[in-house]
Amino acid sequence: MVKYIFVTGGVMSGIGKGVTVASIGKIMQSRGMKVTAVKIDPYINVDAGTMNPYIHGEVFVTEDGGETDMDLGTYERFLDVNMSREHNITTGQIYLSVIGKERRGDFLGKCAQIIPHITDEIKDRIRSISLKDDVDCAIVEIGGTVGDIESLPFLEAARQMGLEEGKLNVAYIHVTLVPVIDVVGEQKTKPTQHSVQELRRIGIIPDIIVARSKKPLRDEAKKKIALFCNVEERAVFTSPDIRSIYELPLILDGQGLGDYLSERLRLKSPNPRWDEWKNMLEGYISPKHKVKIAVCGKYAELADSYVSINEALRHAGAANRTLVEIGWIETEQFEENITTLSCLDNYDGILIPGGFGARGTEGKIMAISYARERNIPFLGICFGFQMAIVEFARHVGFEGANSTEVDPETIHPVVDLMPEQKSIDQKGATMRLGSYPIILTPGTLAHRLYGTDIIYERHRHRYEANPEYVGRLETAGLVFSGKSVDGSRVEVIELKDRRFHLATQFHGEFKSRPNRPAPIYRGFVEAAIERAMGRTGSNI
């Protein structure tokens, strides 16, 4: 029997529910279980691809090309398993499918309703993922906050599963916030009490409460939550402020979460194995060096819109016992005032991430020139790769070069829409998405970093390096070090005479893991460390 653990959220969003879910998964894994995780997003979008990363956080791309919620990235990083598009369920998908069935006549003579048709569809999906992945335990995170109208059918499905699968096979965990009033310093449990009341009104009685709070919960706060929320006192856990998110599984397990869950679900609970995870943590919590990386984009204010990049940089840092400090820099300021570019001197590396549209692009190109001219390590990702091609082309005399995404009239369209994209008029899930093989050229930096001829990396783009310019740019000194298998598509570019000037059409960050940094990020951070050594000594 699969054990299902439903995780709901209370009080407000943004309290680290995804990291908590991933940590619970890790705790089950540490006890030898095969685990998967599912994220439910109650919005009507079919997938995250059409949403604004500035508001909803990054769009995480899975191996199979799903454009999914950023929590799937957190699950992949903690659990070290690949998710697929099915692991992110949305209201949009559920209704699309139920309405499709209704039109086909599957419910002939019946009235199609939220209960049972919508809830059945939700339960079917959760069960079929667990069966397909052949897991012992599936953790299902219900997005949003209890009390939201749109999450009701999902909570109802979770409630029904408790009944159908049996009490010993389903557990409910509620993640809430315990705020502290600064002046008094008292941990306030009332918001938690209210959100649990709401949950119980819907028919779900939580087995475990995980309270997000700055400091560990005091005894009286725990007692109060236990009493008012009808859970055992030993089933109240705290997720406090920590040095690295990767510490959370150990912190929760240290409080007894793994043992309590095992008891509740009648699992044999062998001694958890944390040795490898603890070893890995060293690099995160006791770094010896420090580097500063500038991430220059237009969603720079919200770190969540680049969470995988953020993590990939940290993974690369940790592998070198180095703390990576990230400065989020808005490139429009460079366009308004060129002297602001000098702020980049304070950084050891410059990264231009993915992006869409024209705003801020000239500023990105200026930052790339700055990196190239001053030999500051540079990494370009996707749109950053495309802008690096534009920058190089302009530098070697292709005046006015651009991507047709930015300037459709450019005289040198060095980046252009992929031919197969020209006839597409729908925006949802129509980019070149997911994992594709890439052939690396021996003798190049890219090949050295990966140490192999063929790699598989994930993509999300409509535009590409225009093949018509490849020859001319190559003659001018740009190295095309990675291409698609048939050679038609450019995947990696680099410059020979720089410390590290490399850009990729793919997103290496999606496959980076805390104990296995993505090779390009590792190379980039190591080059940055080298610069930091010369610049500040880099010691903490």
Question: Which residues carry out catalysis?
Answer: 382, 507, 509
Give all strands (DSSP E) within 56-205, no chain letters: 60-61, 67-68, 88-90, 137-142, 170-177, 180-181, 186-187
User: Using CA atoms, how far apart are residues 12 and 317, in angstroms rounded to an integer?
Assistant: 32
State the maximum Cα–Cα separation within the chain, in Å, rounded to a whole number: 76
Beta bridge partners of 239: 212
Closest to 21 in 3D by CA, of 43, 41, 42, 5: 5
- Least distance (Å) between residue 281 CB and ligand GLN: 31
Beta bridge partners of 539: 289
Residue nearest to ligand GLN as judged by C-beta position: 354
- Least distance (Å) between residue 386 CB and ligand GLN: 6
User: Using CA atoms, how far apart are residues 350 and 387, in angstroms rounded to an integer?
Assistant: 13
- Least distance (Å) between residue 356 CB and ligand GLN: 4
What element of type H or E holds 127? Answer: helix 119-133
Q: Which two tokens stand for residue 251?
A: 């912190």
DSSP code string of 214-267: SSPPPHHHHHHHHHHHT--GGGEEEE---S-GGGHHHHHHHTTHHHHHHHHTT-
User: Using CA atoms, how far apart are residues 510 and 233, in angstroms rounded to an integer?
Assistant: 39
User: Using CA atoms, how far apart are residues 395 and 373, in angstroms rounded to an integer?
Assistant: 10
**Type of residue found at 341:** L
Q: Helices then strands (H, E): number in the chain?
A: 18, 23
- Least distance (Å) between residue 445 CB and ligand GLN: 21
Closer residue to ligand GLN, CB minimum distance, 189 or 505: 505
Closest to 531 in 3D by CA, of 315, 331, 346: 346
Q: Other C-beta atoms within 10 Å of 496: how many?
A: 11
User: Using CA atoms, how far apart are residues 153 and 169, in angstroms rounded to an integer?
Assistant: 21
Closer residue to ligand GLN, CB minimum distance, 267 or 381: 381
Closer residue to ligand GLN, CB minimum distance, 236 or 518: 518
Q: Are strands 501-504 and 490-494 parallel, antiparallel or unpaired?
A: antiparallel
Residues that bind ligand GLN (CB under 6 A): 354-356, 382-383, 405, 460-463
**Type of residue found at 299:** Y
- Least distance (Å) between residue 198 CB and ligand GLN: 38
User: Using CA atoms, how far apart are residues 261 and 118, in angstroms rounded to an integer?
Assistant: 29
What element of type H or E holds 155? Answer: helix 152-165
**Half-sphere exposure (Cβ direction) of 208: Cα atoms closer than 13 Å:** 29
User: Using CA atoms, how far apart are residues 142 and 144, in angstroms rounded to an integer?
Assistant: 7
Closest to 459 in 3D by CA, of 538, 530, 386: 386
- Least distance (Å) between residue 456 CB and ligand GLN: 18
Cis amide leading into 206 (omega within 30)? no
- Least distance (Å) between residue 287 CB and ligand GLN: 30
- Least distance (Å) between residue 61 CB and ligand GLN: 9
DSSP 167: G
Q: Other C-beta atoms within 10 Å of 103: how many?
A: 9
- Least distance (Å) between residue 382 CB and ligand GLN: 3
